[in-house]
Amino acid sequence: MKLLFIDDEQTFLKYLAKRLILDGFTVQTAFSGEEGVKAASKEDFDVAVVDLQMPGIDGIEVQKRLKDLQPMLPCIVLTGHASVENALESGKYNAFKFLSKPVDMDTLIETINAAYDHRVQKEQSSSGSDTSQTGTGKEGPLSKLYGKFRKLYGVEK
């Protein structure tokens, strides 16, 4: 699985990248939002892990640009500055989940795998292989918002 990992904290990023490589992932690192977007314009990735607060373009803007470049690319947002507003804003731009730093490595790996599985299911359903979509178009705005919160925070029914 190819990961794009964007974070301005270089020591943190290098450590996580080494750990993820040891766990069998292919990891492309970028130390700024601009670098990450440039990498995504040249190469396809399976999952992106994006820091929320970075100098230059922030994580929310990075997600917007990644969504334009690779619409099916799920983003996992990491931040040391978690807030409900940021989580909601990130949710608009393919944020699969919102994780606080310091992140537990097992949790991060589980989330990456879940994001990849979600992407595969989404691609299959958009290609027409999904014959039944329950609840599509029948949910009210509050139900949709509740569903986004459940996905962002990893809460199952």
Taking 90 as the threshold, does the pLDDT of residue 127 lie above it?
no
CATH number at residue 52: 3.40.50.2300
Question: Cα torsion at 139, 144, 150, 152 (round to 10°)?
Answer: 150
Residue 52 domain boundaries: 2-153
HEC assignment per residue over 21-48: HHCCCEEEEECCHHHHHHHHHHCCCCEE
**Sign of the alpha-carbon dihedral angle for 11, 101, 107, 60:** negative
pTM of the predicted model, to two decimals? 0.76
Tens digit of each residue's pLDDT (9 = 90 or more) over 52-90? 889 999 888 999 999 999 999 999 998 876 555 555 555
pLDDT of 11: 94
